[in-house]
Amino acid sequence: MKNKNLWAPWRMEYLKALGLKHAQKEQPSDPDKPDECFFCNYWRTPDQDQTNLVLWRTRRSLVVFNRFPYTAGHLLLAPARHVGDLLNLDEKSLLEMMLLARDAQKALTEAIKPHGFNLGININRCAGAGLPEHVHLHLVPRWTGDNNFMPVIGHVRLISQVLDELYRQLTEISQRLRLPSVKT
C-alpha cells in the first residue's frame, strides 16, 4: 500500500518546540522561574486571552484550549499557582478546577455534542506530563468510533474543527449559559 500525505501544518509549532527541548538536552524549566511556563505567561497577560485561546479565567484558575489537541475541544484547566502536583494545591483551587471542568463539559456538550469525555491529570514527566512543573487537568471530548485506524495504525489524529472557530463558539455559549459558574 502506498503512503499518503495527511497535511497538518499547525503541528510544526509543536514539532519545533520538541526539537528545541531536545537541543537543550531536555532540561526542565526552573520551577522558581514560572515565566518559562505558558500557563503562568497566560495568567500575567489577560489582554492576550483571545490570542492565547484562554476561554475562562477565574480567581484561581485558567481554562485554555490545548494548541496540540487529541480531539476537537481538548481543554486544559490549570491553577493560577505554579505547582507540579495536587499535593501542593489548596482545597479551594482543587474544587474550582473541578467546577470549571463541569462547566466546560456543559459548554462543549452544547457546542460539539461529544458522546463522552476523558478527564485526566498527568503528574510528572514519566506519567506523560508535557509541563510537569505546572499541574493541569485535561478535558478531552470523545465520540463513539473516534479511535479508528488513523491513531491506532497510522499514529495520526484527525482534528475536525479549527481552534479559533470553536473558541468563538464556546465564548458565545459561555455568555448565553452564564459560564463559568465559578465567581471571580
Q: DSSP assignment of 50-109, as one string?
A: TTTTEEEE-SSEEEEE-SS-SSTT-EEEEESS--SSGGGS-HHHHHHHHHHHHHHHHHHH
Of 74, 136, 138, 155, catalytic: 136
Tell me if 79 sits within 8 A of 87, measured CB to CB.
no
Q: In terms of Cα–Cα distance, which of 76, 151, 61, 72 is closest to 115?
A: 72
Q: What is the dihedral of CA 71, 72, 73, 78, to 10 degrees?
A: 50
The grid coordinates of residue 25 equal: 538536552
- Distance separating the N- and C-terminal Cα atoms of the chain: 55
Locate cell 476561554: which residue?
A: 55
To the query of whether residue 138 is one of the catalytic residues in this protein, the response is no
Residues catalogued as catalytic: 136
